[in-house]
Structure 1
Amino acid sequence: MTTTEWYAEFAAREARGQSPTYERLATAVARDAELLGLLDTVPAAKRQPNLLFGVVRLLGGPVDDPAAFHDFAVSNWPVIAAQLRARATQTNEAGRCAVLLPALAGLPQPLALLEVGASAGLCLYPDRYAYRYGEHAVGDGEPVLECAASNLTPPDRVPDVVWRAGLDLNPLDATDPADVAWLDALVWPEHAHRRARLHAAAAVASADPPLLVRGDLVDDLPALAARAPADATLVVFHHSVLYQVPAPRRAAFVELVRALPARWISVEAPDVLGFDGLPAPPDPGLHNVLALDGRPLAWTRGHGQGIAWFG
C-alpha cells in the first residue's frame, strides 16, 4: 500500500463517522505531494496517519486546518521526523476491553493476563472497569466502557484476574505525566469521552501498576509467560499490534503463542492474520476481527465501541 493509499483508506474506513477532523486531514495529506514526499523519507511503518497526527499534536501543531497543518509539518519536519522515528502508535484505549470481555469471560477462571504491545497497560484491567452493552450493564468500576453489540449475549460478570503483565518495545508509565501526554496526543480531537476515559484508566493503573517488561514479542515472551501463576489460565492477548510487525516476525509470533500453555486472544485487521471466509461486516467501521486461539469470533470497531458477533 502506498502512503497516498494509506491516508485515503484511513480517511474512508477509520476516521469517517468518527473524526471529521482526521477524515478531512487524512484526505488532504493523501493529495499533498510535498508532505507525501517528506513522509516517504522515514521508514514505512512510521508513515501511518495516527502516528503523524499524534506527533504534530504533541508538538503543539494544528490539526483542525489542513493548510495550517501542512505549513507546520513542512516547517518543522526535522523535529517531526525525529519523533516519528522514536515513537510508535501506542494508543492505549481502555475501551478495547469491551470487545475483549466476551472472550475473557468464557475462559476458565481465574485469569493471568499477558498483553503483547501493552503500552502503559491500561487494557490489563478488564476486571476494574464497568461496561454498558446497550441496556446491559456489567461491573461497577470506572471508567464505564460503552459498546454497541449485535448477535451477542453480553457476559454477566467481569473476569477474575489474579496476575497482569505487559510486554512492549517501549513500555509507558501511567504515573509519568510525559507518557500520559503522549497517550493523550493519540486520542482523536473530537473524542473528549476517550480523553476522559484515558485519564480515568490511567488512575486505575497508577494505583496498582502492572508488571511491564521492555522486550520483543518473540524473543522475550516465553520468559514473561513463565512468570504467570500456574493455577490461573494464562491469556496472551493483543489489539492492533501485529500490523506493525514485519510478516516473518509475525509468523514467528503466531507459531510461538500457539505453542505456549496459554489461551490466545487477538484483535487485528483480517489480513494481518490471514483470516479467510469471514462473513461481511455489517458496518464498514467494523474492520477488526476478534479471535480466540486463532478462531474468528466477531467483527469489532477500532476503539472497542462496537462488536458484531458472528453468531
Structure 2
Amino acid sequence: MSTAATYTAFADREAHGVSPTYERLSRAVAADETLHRLLDEVPEAKRQPNLLFGVVRLLGGPVGDPEAFHDFTVRRWAEIAAGLRARATQTNEPGRCAVLLPVLQSLPQPLALLEVGASAGLGLYPDRYAYRYGDHRLGDGGPVLECELTGAEPPTRLPEVAWRAGLDLNPLRVTDADDVAWLDALIWPEHEHRRERLRAAAAIAAADPPHLIRGDLVDDLPALAAQAPAEATLVVFHTSVLYQVPEPKRLAFEELVRTLPGHRISVEAPGLVPVGKLPPAPDDALHNVVALDGVPLAWARGHGQAMSWFADRR
C-alpha cells in the first residue's frame, strides 16, 4: 500500500468519528508529497500514522495544525526518522481488557496470564480494573473501563489471576518517566479520558510491577510459558500486535502457540489470525476479531470501546 493510501485508510477507518485532529492530519499527510519522500526513507513498517504522530508529539511538535506539522516534520526530520526507526507503536490501552473480560470469565479459574506484545504490561491487570457495559458496572477498582457490548450479556465476575507475565521486544516500565511519556504520546489528542485511564492504570501496575521479559514471540515464549504455575489455566493473549510481525514469524508463532497448554485469546485485525469465515463487521470502521483458540467470537474496536458478539454462547 502506498504512503498516501495508508494515511487515507487511517483517516477513513480509524480516525473518522474518533479523532477529528488525526483524521484531518492524516488526510493532509496523504496529500503531502514532500512528507511522502521523507517517509520513503524509512522501512515501510515505520511509516504508519500512529508511529509518526506519536514521535512528533514526543518531540513537542504540533499535530493540530497540518501546515505547522509539515514544517516541524521537515525541519526536524533527522530526529523524527531516528525516532521512527527506534520506536514501535506500543499503545498500551488498558481499555482493551474490557473485550478480554467476557472471554476470561468463561475459562477455568485461576488464570496464569501471559501477554505477547505486552508493552508496559497494563493489559495484565483485568482483575484490578472496574468495568461499565451500558448500565452494568463490575468491580470496585479503577480506572473504570467503558465498553458498548452488544450480542451478549455483560460479564458477571472478575477473573482470578494467580500469575501474570509479559513478553515484548522492548518492554516499557511504568516506573520510568520516559517510557510513560512515550505511552502518553501514543494517545490521540482529544482522548483525555484515555490519558487519565493510562495514569490510573500505570499507578496500579507500579504498585505491583508486572513480570516483563525482553524477548521474541517465538524464540522466548515457551520458556516464559513454562514458568506459569501448573495449578492455573495458562492464557496466552495478544491485542493489536501481529500487524507489526513479519509474515514468516507470524506463521511460526501460530504453529508454536498451538502446542502450548491452556488457551489463547487473540484480538487482531482480520486476516492476521486464521479464524475461518467471519460475519460482516458492524460498520466500515476498523474492527479487530476476538477469538478463543482460533474460534472467532466477536468484533471489537481498537481501544476496547465497543464489542459486538456474534458467536453462539452455548
**So what's the TM-score if we normalise by structure 1?**
0.99
Equivalent-residue separation in structure 2 for 1:310 and 1:143 (angstroms): 28
Counterpart AA for 1:120:
A
| Aligned-pair CA distance for 1:275 | 4.1
Q: Deviations over 1:180-237 (max 9, x none)?
A: 0000000000000000000000000000001000000000000000000000000000
Aligned partner of 2:236 in structure 1 is 236
Structure 2 matches for 1:189-268, cutoff 5 A? 189-268=189-268
Q: Deviations over 1:55-82 (max 9, x none)?
A: 0000000000111000100111000000
Counterpart AA for 2:211:
L
Aligned partner of 1:180 in structure 2 is 180
SS of 1:216 mapped into structure 2: coil
Aligned partner of 1:3 in structure 2 is 3
| Aligned-pair CA distance for 1:286 | 5.1
Asked whether the 8 Å contact 1:286–1:299 carries over to 2, the reply is no
Equivalent-residue separation in structure 1 for 2:95 and 2:24 (angstroms): 25
- RMSD between aligned residues: 0.8
Counterpart AA for 1:277:
K
SS of 1:128 mapped into structure 2: coil
SS of 1:272 mapped into structure 2: coil
| Aligned-pair CA distance for 1:47 | 0.6
| Aligned-pair CA distance for 1:164 | 0.4
Counterpart AA for 1:255:
E
| Aligned-pair CA distance for 1:284 | 2.5
Matched, 1:61 2:75: no
Moved more, 126-135 or 274-283: 274-283
Asked whether the 8 Å contact 2:13–2:286 carries over to 1, the reply is no
Structure 2 matches for 1:102-141, cutoff 5 A? 102-141=102-141
Matched, 1:40 2:31: no
Q: Deviations over 1:127-177 (max 9, x none)?
A: 000000001111111000000011011110110001000000000000111
Equivalent-residue separation in structure 1 for 2:108 and 2:2 (angstroms): 44
Matched, 1:271 2:274: no
Asked whether the 8 Å contact 1:13–1:284 carries over to 2, the reply is yes
Matched, 1:159 2:162: no
Q: Deviations over 1:79-109 (max 9, x none)?
A: 0000000000000000000001011110000
Matched, 1:149 2:124: no
SS of 1:60 mapped into structure 2: coil
| Aligned-pair CA distance for 1:285 | 2.9
Aligned partner of 2:287 in structure 1 is 287
SS of 1:265 mapped into structure 2: strand
Equivalent-residue separation in structure 2 for 1:293 and 1:101 (angstroms): 15
Equivalent-residue separation in structure 2 for 1:141 and 1:150 (angstroms): 24
Asked whether the 8 Å contact 1:171–1:214 carries over to 2, the reply is yes
Equivalent-residue separation in structure 2 for 1:232 and 1:19 (angstroms): 40
Q: Deviations over 1:231-272 (max 9, x none)?
A: 000000000000000001000001100110120000000021
Asked whether the 8 Å contact 1:62–1:68 carries over to 2, the reply is yes
Asked whether the 8 Å contact 1:286–1:307 carries over to 2, the reply is no
Counterpart AA for 2:38:
L
Q: Percent identity?
A: 72
Equivalent-residue separation in structure 2 for 1:6 and 1:262 (angstroms): 37
Counterpart AA for 1:223:
A
Consecutive unaligned residues in structure 2, runs of 5 or more: none
Asked whether the 8 Å contact 2:112–2:163 carries over to 1, the reply is yes
Q: Count residues in correspondence.
A: 311
Counterpart AA for 1:137:
R
| Aligned-pair CA distance for 1:283 | 2.4
Asked whether the 8 Å contact 2:275–2:291 carries over to 1, the reply is no
Equivalent-residue separation in structure 1 for 2:295 and 2:276 (angstroms): 11
Counterpart AA for 2:53:
F
Counterpart AA for 1:278:
L
SS of 2:252 mapped into structure 1: helix
SS of 1:11 mapped into structure 2: helix
